[in-house]
Structure 1
Amino acid sequence: MTAPRRPLVEMPLRVRYHECDGQGIVFNAHYLAYVDMASFEVEKALFGSHDAFLATGVDVVVAESNLRFRAPCRYDDDLVVAAYLAHLGTTSMGYEFEIRRDGLITTEVRVRYVFVDPATLRKTEPPASVREVYAAHLPAPTAS
């Protein structure tokens, strides 16, 4: 039996009126803003703050994102954004986010971040200390 995966963070938020479109549903671009907010909460949980993360000598930029909408979110919904580290490569990492309402997954988001030098914004490998922090939160390999 596989143990359920545990999120790095679970960030609560309430949908604000201005985030909804004419149909009364959260406008699609706001879901990326929600996961971006959660990614900063991950940095806070792992490194203490975004500034502390930057002090390690690297930053991250979004290279790719994919959203799957399973159920609509509306004004005043109480949501939870859960962040999971899914992959750690040499110069990139992948996160999976679940946006839930009352335990129901409404949206699944996958984001690939690339580590960059903050001064040049060029792709770089993270220092070993950063890699170790993230590696500790990778899912356990499954037996095949």
Structure 2
Amino acid sequence: MVTERRAITEMPVRVRYHECDAQGVVFNAHYLSYADMASFEVEKALFGSHREFLATGLDVVVAESNLRYRLPCRFEDELVVSAYLGHLGTTSLVFDYEIRRDGQLTTEIRTRYVFVDPATLRPTPPPGEVIARYTPFLAQPV
């Protein structure tokens, strides 16, 4: 079955010189920074701001991240980081990030987040209002 998905947000990034390693390629850890920046753009798109997301009584913590490098990114490359909702569970969600340069896929990142109570940092299910914000972005069968 084929599924269609749409990005929650698309964030432009220009690679800065200090993000590159001795080979002139973006150092691997910076790709996770790009994904992290995009996650805050998701909160802005769905809730208005990170502060408004926190007002729902939730926060999220990263449980795991996986990266697949397809093409190198270099200084001054103009990138676009797209964030997709890959999964929405009872206490977690998965974002799939795609980083593209001139339309070409350079990097794929999959990050699993756990919803937590900000005071205790213990996993907690999100309320219906939060689920309702994410649900339209789940992949739909076509």
Provide TM-score, normalisation by structure 1: 0.95
Does residue 1:64 correspond to 2:71, yes or no? no
Distance in 1 of aligned mates of 2:46 and 2:106: 26
Secondary structure of residue in 1 paired with 2:53: helix
* CA distances 1:25-65 after superposition (whole Å, capped 9, x unpaired): 00000000000000000000000000000000000010010
Corresponding residue for residue 102 of structure 1:
102
| Displacement after TM superposition at 1:4 (Å) | 4.5
| Displacement after TM superposition at 1:137 (Å) | 1.4
Secondary structure of residue in 2 paired with 1:82: strand
Structure 1 portions without partners, runs of 5+: none
| Displacement after TM superposition at 1:141 (Å) | 3.5
Structure 2 portions without partners, runs of 5+: none
Note the aligned Cα RMSD (angstroms): 1.4
Secondary structure of residue in 2 paired with 1:100: strand
Corresponding residue for residue 115 of structure 1:
115
CA contact (8 A) 2:3 2:140 kept: no
CA contact (8 A) 2:3 2:141 kept: no
CA contact (8 A) 2:93 2:113 kept: yes
Letter of the structure 1 residue corresponding to residue 32 of structure 2: L
CA contact (8 A) 2:3 2:139 kept: no
| Displacement after TM superposition at 1:2 (Å) | 5.3
Corresponding residue for residue 26 of structure 1:
26
Structure number with greater CO (CA < 8 Å, separation at least 6) is 2
Number of aligned pairs?
142
Does residue 1:6 correspond to 2:26, yes or no? no
Secondary structure of residue in 1 paired with 2:137: coil
Residues 30-45 of structure 1: matches in 2 within 5 Å? 30-45=30-45
